[in-house]
Amino acid sequence: MNDPLFTDIPDETGTLSLAASDASSSANLDYSLRGDPASHTKVIMLTGMFATTAHVASYARFLARHGAHVLTFDHRGIGRSTIPIADAKRDQDPVVLARDALQLMDHVFGPDSAVHIVGRSMGGMVAQRMAVELVSSNHSDRIASLVLIATTQSTTLFRPLVPWIPHFMFRFVLKLLFGGDRVSVMAGAVNRAFSREHLDHLHPVKGVSNRELWVGRWVREWGDWWTFDDMDVCATQFRVSLLHHLSAVEAQSLVESGIPIAV
């Protein structure tokens, strides 16, 4: 599943248009489906910060080959999912992204289907918020399981200060972190995304390290995998991650709901 030469074409694609609300701007969510629509195993996968759905395509295909019907999508403003240009800097938070995902889940799978919710990194934060929204509204039966990968219950002790930090400060910090040349940025990204053992392994077809192949691919396909060309949207997602907090009461409610949870 971590083959740097992996390619895949979704079985179906679509776009869900979301209307503006008091909490968020309008958005068009681009999504992909893999697997048999008749399958009783429904899965939604949520990507991490700055990342497009390309990052979970191989995992989605693996699950589809084993009988699941899998939904992947780009968060609002990321990849092929769009928001109005004037609202690119509009504040988002984990609740906004969770409600996006819940609306998409209902649109694709129907409002009565039980769905396995899988989230990685920031996607795991959004997945936690999705679960809280469903449990608090007495719809825990909609969650077949909750799978949280490389994520956290709360991101920072300084979370109460985050709403007061101006947008340009998030942008400034990200420019320092990811504003270098693409090769150096991607070299750092692969080190965070994969284990050293995987990266040092020689690819059986190409005969060079997976590290070299991943860096090369991510540089060539920069815009297909990452959103670093739009620092406004990156700054917004950075803010979303810093705002994430699952309280002890909320965490306990998830445990007591009986939902199978894997961390």
Question: Which residue in 56, 94, 93 sits closest to 74, CA to CA?
Answer: 56
- What's the confidence (pLDDT) of residue 84? 85
The Cα–Cα gap between 212 and 118 comes to 29
Assigned token pair, 76:
């609002």
Q: Which residues fall within 8 angstroms of residue 249, CB to CB, at 6 or more apart? A: none
Helix (H) or strand (E) holding 143: strand 143-149
Assigned token pair, 66:
């084993």
Give strand pairing partners of 18: 27
**How would you class 78 by CB atoms within 10 Å of its CB: exposed for 0-12, middle for 13-18, buried for 19 or more?**
buried
Question: Which residue in 7, 111, 3, 122 sits closest to 54, CA to CA?
Answer: 7
Residues 178 and 228 sit within 8 Å (Cβ to Cβ)? yes
Assign 176 to helix, strand or coil.
helix
Q: pTM for the complete prediction?
A: 0.94
Q: In this structure, what DSSP letter does residue 42 have? A: E
- What's the confidence (pLDDT) of residue 25? 86
From first to last of its 263 residues, the chain has per-residue pLDDT tens of 689 999 999 999 999 999 988 778 899 999 999 999 999 999 999 999 999 999 999 999 999 999 999 999 999 999 999 988 766 666 689 999 999 999 999 999 999 999 999 999 999 999 999 999 999 999 999 999 999 999 999 877 778 888 898 888 999 999 888 878 899 999 999 998 899 999 999 999 999 999 999 999 999 999 999 999 888 889 999 999 999 999 999 999 999 999 999 99
